[in-house]
Structure 1
Amino acid sequence: MVNKFVQAFNQYHPIVNTLLLGTMILAIGSSISILYFPLYLVKEQHFDPVKIALILGIGSLAATFSGFIAGVVSDFIGRRKVMLGSLYVSSFIFFGFMLSKQVYFLILMMLLQGISTSFFAPASKALVADLTAVDRRMRVFSIRYTINNIGYAIGPSIGAYLWLKETIDPFLVTGCLYGGYSLLLHVLLNKYGIKQIEGEQLKESQTIKGAFRVIKYDKILFFFVLGGLVSTTVHGQWSVTMQQYLNEHFMNGTLLYTSVLTVNSVCVILFQYPISRWAERFKPLTIVVAGSFLFSIGMGGFAFSTGWFTMILFMVIFTIGETMVIPAEYMMIDHITPDRLRGMYYGAQNLTGIGNFFGPLVGGYLLLHFGGSVMFLGFALLGIISIFFFWRGQIIQDHKSMNKRTNNIVL
């Protein structure tokens, strides 16, 4: 098993392997600090769920919209500089979290972190594509996805220990991980003479204006993006409000939260490949509907769970839904994307990330004013509502395809 793993990595460029390793390092770093940050804000700062949602959600909102200008900046100064610069900036941002815990300062830090993340991701993906043969890219991106989840399976245990023991600031550890990896990647890029990152050029740039333009004129895309936004509201940042709920309603809530996080990541690792193979036999809409129902079952189950076993059981169900819905959403939009407008359609698809902001905000409001059961049932209802938008878009697409076939027959 280990030999096969080593052989798989030997197929790729050393820089690609470094980026894959970095994916795990950055995931561990993030899960050590950010995933447990709501616990600190509740216990030490006594912030309410809505204020916590604003602090944690603002980074996701910034990442969504700054992603549109990342390409422009990359074209202007080069993807290599953007990739390394964003890593170094992220490192300093995590150190910055140690300076003050005032709410406006924390919002500023999360805002900068979201922007920095949005700049790093596309540049690193472009470099992987540059250094990997076309027929191996799908495999390496699949490995990257798995390694990312391995990082999120490892990190929570370390994070729980650091936050509970309070001996070392978790943000110091995360900053060191980011800084150390930044230096390693910088040295290796120089060693292997990689001065620029080309990436695949899209025929249309990803701009906010272009994204809203295609949504305005393509009703199918409009409903798919709306469905994706609502779905992301359910699954995008569930950990923010989950941690607050568990810590308040369960004995050893922090340890249960750690267990739930680990179960989520491990299940993604175990189920992602077999479910993706199984899902190939069905239409993407069928998978989205099934996965969304599992989202709702999982969220509804959380509302009535009173012990560890049921919380973990419904997290397994929720995670299976996650592994089904996320790739199927991308497939539905990819099927309707014209080659000449691919950049605009990808940009429109990125708008589903707004759900990462609304999720904590909606959850925080419901948790604060109505309690955890209503919050989870509200998310379960949103999971069902998202199905309607995907279904509506598919109906329009089917009618459009039928009209095309009819016109061809008449001609």
Structure 2
Amino acid sequence: MNSQLKQIHPLAWTIIVGTIFGRMATSMSIPFLSIYLTQTMGASPSQTGVIVAVSALVGVFASFYGGYVSDRIGRKKVLFISVFGWAIVFIGFAVADRIWMFFVMNALNGICRATFEPTSRALLSDITSASNKLLVFNLRYAAINLGVVFGPLLGLYLGLSDSNLSFLVAGGVYVAYGALLIVQFMIHPLPSDGQAAAHTEPIRIREAFRTTGKDPIFMYILIGSIFCVLGYGHFSSTLPQFMSLNPHMHDGAKWFGYMLSLNAVVVLAVQFPVVRVASKFPPVVPLIVGNAMVSVSLLMFGLAQSPWMLVLAVIIFTVGEVLMFTLMDVLVDRIAKPELRGTYFGMIGFNNLGNVSAPIFGGVLLDTFGAEHPLLVFIPIAVTAVCGVPFLWAAHKRLRMREEQQSVGGVTAAS
């Protein structure tokens, strides 16, 4: 393990460490956005759902373009634009005093996230050896959750969950993150970054769409993961509204902050053991099991009558989350063509259609049935989330068939 850690590129460490502080700052504000909008700005659950959803809706399309553009002009330029753009967005959140302004800022937030995420993952893949990719992607995922452990607690402690000061803090952190990236790229330049297109004919965006769209395994994984993200998205959109509006739950916003931190703590505790076990199975199987566990946990949120039931539901949800997302990057990297790595990582961003649907669907259910009828809210949520299993199972069968054919072909060629 120590020898593998020493082999990790300094730029990869910069992205990993920067992710900790970036997510810490972001989780002080964005997870509480729905509560801030309903309690401070007077928005309805449906209005709040639309505002929260626009980030993912814009991100669905920006993600593909972000990954594609990074293949064309280089990772460095896209990272700088997205990180400093993020800083401006959070400052915009801080000065917003109209509901429509939050809509605009969250749309820009989605663009920044959707361009940064596939580009940073593609860069990690570019500068990491094949033997270390699983470790690096898991360190990145651990960094995300390490930041989320402390962010909500810090926000609650400082009283930032109902204040715009949290957005200013997040903006300052992303300015510092961008400055650190500038220094690191100066110390560790990537001479090949953005130069691939100078030596080969660059693929056009229509051809990139056609290439990924004709990959049946990838498309089944993409569709299945949309439902995975749909279920996952309710944790940060529908659940906080439900807990803050539920008349039978005292200090629901505070309990949600604790649940966010518990979610991140459990991720850090189980991530590497779970990944070690899950990596022994065919690569799509963990996604199937994770999708089912998240669906069960969503039903449990509706059945919960005590804090301990909520704790158990968060633990089951978190293990399912780990199974769904920790191996996703490795799976996409395995399927992607090397010259289209950024494009594939961008294309998988279309699974954020789940994040688009979750807050809108949850908001409509809350408006229709009210937080005092939890089962009428969470049963439809759980049923729709589990719909990803058939698509993931189809991807599993096709991937197994392809690998068997490749194995037979390899044996035939060798003989």
Q: Say yes or no: TM over 0.5.
A: yes
Aligned-partner residue type, residue 225 of structure 1: L
Aligned-partner residue type, residue 79 of structure 2: M
Aligned-partner residue type, residue 386 of structure 1: G
Tell me the secondary structure at the aligned position of residue 239 of structure 1.
coil
Matched with 2:42 is: 46
Tell me, in whole angstroms, the C-alpha distance in 2 between the residues paired with 1:285 and 1:193: 36
The Cα of 1:18 is off from its aligned counterpart by 2.9
TM-score, structure 1 as length reference: 0.84
Q: 1:289 to 1:165 in 2, by over 3 A?
A: closer
Q: Residue 84 of structure 1 contacts residue 182 of structure 1 at CA under 8 Å; is this kept in 2? A: yes
- Higher mean C-alpha displacement, 175-184 vs 395-404: 395-404
> Deviation digits for residues 191-212 of structure 1, max 9, x if unmatched?
x163766289699978764565
Tell me, in whole angstroms, the C-alpha distance in 1 between the residues paired with 2:113 and 2:278: 30
The Cα of 1:75 is off from its aligned counterpart by 5.6
* Structure 1 segment 8-23 matched on structure 2, within 5 A: 12-23=8-19
Number of residue pairs aligned between Structure 1 and Structure 2: 406
Q: Residue 210 of structure 1 contacts residue 347 of structure 1 at CA under 8 Å; is this kept in 2? A: no
Matched with 1:112 is: 108
- Higher mean C-alpha displacement, 81-90 vs 247-256: 81-90
* Structure 1 segment 345-360 matched on structure 2, within 5 A: 346-360=345-359
* Structure 1 segment 42-121 matched on structure 2, within 5 A: 42-74=38-70, 78-121=74-117
- Higher mean C-alpha displacement, 304-313 vs 370-379: 370-379
Q: Any stretches of 5+ residues in structure 2 without a counterpart?
A: none
Tell me, in whole angstroms, the C-alpha distance in 1 between the residues paired with 2:78 and 2:162: 34
Matched with 1:377 is: 379
Q: Residue 63 of structure 1 contacts residue 117 of structure 1 at CA under 8 Å; is this kept in 2? A: yes
Q: 1:64 to 1:204 in 2, by over 3 A?
A: farther
Q: Residue 75 of structure 2 contacts residue 119 of structure 2 at CA under 8 Å; is this kept in 1? A: yes
Q: Percent identity?
A: 28
Q: Residue 236 of structure 1 contacts residue 356 of structure 1 at CA under 8 Å; is this kept in 2? A: yes
Q: Residue 49 of structure 1 contacts residue 364 of structure 1 at CA under 8 Å; is this kept in 2? A: yes
Tell me, in whole angstroms, the C-alpha distance in 2 between the residues paired with 1:307 and 1:103: 34
- Higher mean C-alpha displacement, 172-181 vs 134-143: 134-143
Work out whether 1:320 is the aligned partner of 2:323: no
Tell me, in whole angstroms, the C-alpha distance in 2 between the residues paired with 1:200 and 1:136: 24
- Higher mean C-alpha displacement, 201-210 vs 133-142: 201-210
Q: Any stretches of 5+ residues in structure 1 without a counterpart?
A: none
Q: Residue 65 of structure 1 contacts residue 208 of structure 1 at CA under 8 Å; is this kept in 2? A: no
* Structure 1 segment 233-244 matched on structure 2, within 5 A: 233-236=230-233, 238-244=235-241
TM-score, structure 2 as length reference: 0.84
Q: Residue 55 of structure 2 contacts residue 108 of structure 2 at CA under 8 Å; is this kept in 1? A: yes
> Deviation digits for residues 147-189 of structure 1, max 9, x if unmatched?
2210011101112234468677111111111122222332343
> Deviation digits for residues 26-55 of structure 1, max 9, x if unmatched?
001110111111111010112122211221
Aligned-partner residue type, residue 110 of structure 2: G
The Cα of 1:129 is off from its aligned counterpart by 4.8
Tell me, in whole angstroms, the C-alpha distance in 2 between the residues paired with 1:337 and 1:188: 28
Q: Residue 229 of structure 1 contacts residue 353 of structure 1 at CA under 8 Å; is this kept in 2? A: yes
Q: 1:64 to 1:201 in 2, by over 3 A?
A: farther
The Cα of 1:373 is off from its aligned counterpart by 2.5
> Deviation digits for residues 203-239 of structure 1, max 9, x if unmatched?
9978764565357645544433221111211113521
